[in-house]
Amino acid sequence: MCGIVGLFLKDAALEPQLGGLVAGMLTVMSDRGPDSAGFAIYGDGCPDQLKLTVRGADLEGVAAALGPIIAGLVRDTHLVLTLPAVEEARVRAWLATQRPDLAVTGAGQRIELYKEVGLPGAVAERFGLAQMSGTHAIGHTRMATESAVTTAGAHPFSTGADQCLVHNGSLSNHRSLRRKLEPQGIAFSTDNDSEVAAGYLTWRLREGASLSEALESSLTDLDGFFTFVVGTENGFAVLRDPIACKPAVMAETDQYVAFGSEYRALVGLPGIETARVFEPEPARVYAWERH
Amino acid sequence: MPVVDLAVTSRRELNAALHALAADTRETQWRVENPMGQHALAVGLDAAVAVEIAGHAGYYCAGMNQRATVVIHGNAGVGVAENMISGKVHVKGDASQAAGATAHGGLLVIDGDASARCGISMKGVDIVVKGSIGPMSAFMAQSGALVVLGDAGDALGDSIYEARLYVRGAVKSLGADCVEKPIGPEHAQQLRRLLDAAGVSGVEPSEFRRYGSARGLYTFHVDNAAAY
């Protein structure tokens, strides 16, 4: 099953409410995915700085050990490190050698990425999602099929800077695709099929494709059933497989574009009564960008 | 007129109240407020009552309907009026996938578009879609009529049995064993009746093309035609 939610704001006035709105959407999708939940949120950031979201235990003191120019914010089992972009290699090397128990879940100028096992509402609460602000966010509630119920198997997956993907469905050719992507330098940290889809898009974007083009080609290269919602630093996109196995509904107003696995997830959004509510067509890429 | 506000009353209470109605009930006009996309609203009705749903509905709304008239003032989720036996279901907005799936009878009217697999395995229902329908519609459709004022997506009528498909706009592609057939007087009559029943005016039966089974995929014997 699984549930997906996404909210992409057009109106900056709503930015302080982003986390609260998405927390509500995630909670409603609990019965589609009670195993685990996760979300990526695009908040503040500046061009010469990088945010690394790190997951694990004993997070207090990590930022301090990295030196005074690194800021750290601990939220439950996750730590967001904010560092000068030029420090990325040093920080990653330090984490790999000094704290190999920690996993980097997301990296980019603005992305923060949280995931945990448990009911979606509880996961949102643990990380204080309702208090977060930002321009767009994507969330997922998971009912596991292809790999175990672990935090690492929870969505979203991020395989490139400021990129993330959530997936409802399952892929059949993820093993062979993984073997093609790994020699291209795309690194995977789990056995999850959805992470391979994220890696595939990262590879296509790196090769110069636009987000729309990358998704377009995934219709040929990915075998399986899927509804994807994808986030980039300034973009938000949706794609369903050609026979539209998995449910999807969208709503658009002057203030936002919203995605839900079911309309119920969108009920709490402002102005939903008069929003244009529609079902995205199979095999058609829907993409929005902020300029 | 009973008004049920789903912001305060549960869906189970609503359905239980509708199921408890006697055949000769005098509470024949129901209104459901704040549906908020909840699933399985007004399912399994078996009384000649009218239920107005004031907003978007979730999955399987008005499923298994008998005799009742259910009007959805918004969009309907997956499987609206699935397995309907009789009565009428009217969606004022769009319908999601598998609208009218496996339905045996009654009339399903969709004012907007219907997504993929509209009328899949339909067994006698009449469906009128004023907009367009998605791919794989009328898959294995057995009996009944599907009338589409707009366009049809890929693989219309794949593996169709004896349902009649009428499309006014473009058909992206026909499925296996589905072919175009001429519109005879009885078809024009049927179209006129269904357009009238759906409240469509200003549209002529001659604007449609008819599609149906080439009867090459299933064991069809013309001697048995009356049984279909």
CB-facing half-sphere around the CA of A141: CA atoms within 13 A: 27
pLDDT (0 to 100) of residue A149: 86
Chain A residues with CB under 8 Å of B75 CB are 249, 263, 277
Task: Give me the residue from A243, A247, A264 closest to B36, CB to CB.
Answer: A264
Mind telling me how many Å the CA of A29 is from chain B's nearest CA?
Answer: 12
Chain B residues with CB under 8 Å of A242 CB are 135
Compute the distance between CA of residue B132 and CA of residue B113 in angstroms, rounded to an integer.
Answer: 5
Minimum CA–CA partner of A269 in chain B: B36
pLDDT (0 to 100) of residue B75: 97
pLDDT (0 to 100) of residue A290: 86
* Interchain CB contact of A284 with B (< 8 Å): no
Mind telling me how many Å the CA of A32 is from chain B's nearest CA?
Answer: 13
Q: Which residues of chain B have pLDDT under 50?
A: none
Compute the distance between CA of residue B150 and CA of residue B90 in angstroms, rounded to an integer.
Answer: 17
| Phi, then psi, of A281 in degrees rounded to 5 | -75, 155
pLDDT (0 to 100) of residue B228: 57
CATH 3.30.70-classified regions of chain A = 45-109
CATH 3.60.20.10-classified regions of chain A = 3-44+120-289
pTM (2 decimals)? Answer: 0.92
Compute the distance between CA of residue A66 and CA of residue B89 in angstroms, rounded to an integer.
Answer: 65
Write down the domain spans for chain B. Answer: 1-102, 113-216
Compute the distance between CA of residue B54 and CA of residue B47 in angstroms, rounded to an integer.
Answer: 20
pLDDT (0 to 100) of residue B227: 63
Are B58 and A264 in contact (CB < 8 Å)? yes
pLDDT (0 to 100) of residue B220: 63
pLDDT (0 to 100) of residue A152: 85
Compute the distance between CA of residue A261 and CA of residue B58 in angstroms, rounded to an integer.
Answer: 11
Record the tokens describing residue A218, joined without a space: 């995934």
Interface test with A, best of B33, B115, B120, B139 (most A CBs within 10 A): B115
Are A262 and B56 in contact (CB < 8 Å)? no
Residue A267 pLDDT > 60, yes or no? yes
Residue A223 pLDDT > 60, yes or no? yes
pLDDT (0 to 100) of residue B218: 73
Contact A193, A215 (CB under 8 A): no
Compute the distance between CA of residue A181 and CA of residue A205 in angstroms, rounded to an integer.
Answer: 13
Chain B residues with CB under 8 Å of A278 CB are 94
* Interchain CB contact of A267 with B (< 8 Å): yes
Catalytic residue among A2, A46, A164, A245: A2
Record the tokens describing residue A206, joined without a space: 């790196």
Q: What is the 3-state secondary structure (H, E, C) of chain A?
A: CCEEEEEEECCHHHHHHHHHHHHHHHHHHHHHCECEEEEEEECCCCCCEEEEEEECCCCCCHHHHHCCCCEEEEECCEEEEEEEHHHHHHHHHHHHHHCCCCEEEEEECCEEEEEEECCHHHHHHHHCHHHCCCCEEEEEEECCCCCCCCCCCCCCECCCCCCEEEEEEEECCHHHHHHHHHHHCCCCCCCCHHHHHHHHHHHHHHCCCCHHHHHHHHHHHCCEEEEEEEECCCEEEEEECCCCCCCCEEEECCCEEEEECCHHHHCCCCCHHHCEEECCCCCCCEEEECC
Does ipTM exceed 0.90? no
CATH topology assigned to domain A45-109: Alpha-Beta Plaits (3.30.70)
Cis peptide before B135 (omega within 30 of 0): no
Are B96 and A277 in contact (CB < 8 Å)? no
Mind telling me how many Å the CA of A136 is from chain B's nearest CA?
Answer: 23
Minimum CA–CA partner of A242 in chain B: B135
Confidence band for A196, pLDDT divided at 50, 70 and 90: very high
For all residues of chain A together, what is the average pLDDT? Answer: 95
The model's pLDDT over B64-118, given as tens digits with 9 standing for 90+, comes to 999 999 999 999 999 999 999 999 999 999 999 999 999 999 999 999 999 999 9
Task: Give me the residue from B58, B97, B116 closest to A262, CB to CB.
Answer: B58
The model's pLDDT over A17-47, given as tens digits with 9 standing for 90+, comes to 999 999 999 999 999 999 999 999 999 998 9
Mean pLDDT value across residues A114-143: 97
Chain B residues with CB under 8 Å of A244 CB are 97, 115-116, 134-135
Residue A125 pLDDT > 60, yes or no? yes
pLDDT (0 to 100) of residue A146: 66
* Interchain CB contact of A268 with B (< 8 Å): no
Class of domain A3-44+120-289: alpha beta
Higher pLDDT, A130 or A68: A130
- Number of cross-chain residue pairs from A and B with Cβ atoms under 8 Å apart: 48
Are A243 and B135 in contact (CB < 8 Å)? yes
Q: Catalytic annotation on A46?
A: no
